Amino acid sequence: MSADASTLAQAFVYRIPPVKRAFDIFFSGMGLLFLSPFFLIIAALIRLESKGKVFYASKRVGTGYKVFDFYKFRSMFTGADLQLKSLAGQNQYATEQDDAGETDDVCPDCAVIDGSCSPVLFIEGEKICENQYLRRKKENSKATFIKILNDPRVTRVGRFIRKTSIDELPQLFNVLIGDMSIVGNRPLPLYEAEMLTSDEWGERFLGPAGITGLWQVNKRGKKDMSDEERKQLDNQYARNYSFWGDIKIILRTIPALLQKEDV
């Protein structure tokens, strides 16, 4: 984790409000009790299709940059994480800049007028116009979130439990022990959280981490959801969340599950 993230984590310790925590304990406890027979059926189907553990645990970053073990039903073949780099070009959140390659060394606007098209800057000993500097900065930016459309690593059972969000149910354990809440911003893998340590986007970590949240019910499954839109929704939730607002999100989550693609 970067120095900025560590500093923020030390300066901010989030405590779930008592009413929200009581709701989380009741909801997750009852859910685990009534769903336990269903868990056994899903576990059997996963093991019948492919070798490997039934549950997938990974390190995630939640509130205040706290790192914890995050649980899901395994929906991919074993070793799927090792293939992620080779599939980066299929990232649903990737921008045109991610695929554009490096910018030209010479500003095209400056070349046309045979001079400087904008104020001249000196960066690490290099003389560069402001427009070219902004182009390079934009093209070097990468998408924060990763979501592979029609991911080939997903099993047949995995595709079903993803479309119905059944794979998320083991996170009720995370809620029960206090790592997460029912409603909040999604806890992120370490490599994604590392890219959200700026003042502009780090705000999302000042609210509770959750199973469902504002961006899921607003943009769930839509191809036109951009990286920046999701980050803005996360910040919005961290600033404005409330108990009754959470209830509204829970009620909107059920129709949001009726989608045509994995998210």
10 and 110 fall within a common domain: no
End residue of a domain, out of 108, 139, 170: 139
pLDDT at 32: 96
pLDDT at 10: 45
For residues 228 and 36, is the Cβ–Cβ distance under 8 A?
A: no
79 and 104 fall within a common domain: no
190 and 247 fall within a common domain: yes
128 and 186 fall within a common domain: no
Q: Is residue 129 part of a domain?
A: yes
Q: Which residues of 55-89 are buried (b: 16+ CB within 10 A; e: fewer)?
A: ebeeebbbbbbeebebbbbbbbbeebeeeeeeeee
Q: Name 189's bridge partners.
A: 60
pLDDT at 95: 47
155 and 194 fall within a common domain: yes
6: how many CB neighbours lie within 10 A of its CB? Answer: 12
Q: Is residue 184 part of a domain?
A: yes
Q: Is residue 261 part of a domain?
A: no
Q: For each of the chain's 263 residues, which pLDDT tens digit applies?
A: 444 544 444 445 667 889 999 999 999 999 999 999 999 999 999 999 888 889 989 899 998 888 999 999 998 877 655 445 544 444 445 544 444 444 456 677 777 677 777 776 665 556 777 677 666 655 554 555 455 556 667 889 988 998 888 999 999 999 999 999 999 999 988 877 877 776 677 788 888 999 999 888 886 555 566 777 888 889 899 889 899 999 999 998 877 666 544 44
22 and 104 fall within a common domain: no
Q: What pTM, to 2 d.p., does this model score? A: 0.67
Q: Return phi, psi of residue 168, to 5°.
A: -85, -15
Distance of alpha carbon 90 from alpha carbon 88, whole angstroms: 5
223 and 100 fall within a common domain: no
Cβ burial of 161 (10 Å; 0-12, 13-18, 19+) is buried
Q: Is residue 236 part of a domain?
A: yes
Q: Is residue 12 part of a domain?
A: yes
Q: Is residue 134 part of a domain?
A: yes
214 and 202 fall within a common domain: yes
27 and 109 fall within a common domain: no
147 and 82 fall within a common domain: yes
134 and 147 fall within a common domain: no
Q: Is residue 77 part of a domain?
A: yes
pLDDT at 101: 45
> What is the residue range of 179's domain?
3-86+143-256
Q: Where are the beta strands (DSSP E) in the chain?
A: 55-61, 67-73, 120-123, 126-129, 181-183, 188-189, 210-212
185 and 231 fall within a common domain: yes
pLDDT at 77: 77
For residues 181 and 175, is the Cβ–Cβ distance under 8 A?
A: yes
- Domains identified in the chain, total number: 2
Q: Is residue 185 part of a domain?
A: yes
Q: How many Cα atoms sit within 13 Å of 259 on the Cβ side?
A: 23
pLDDT at 230: 82
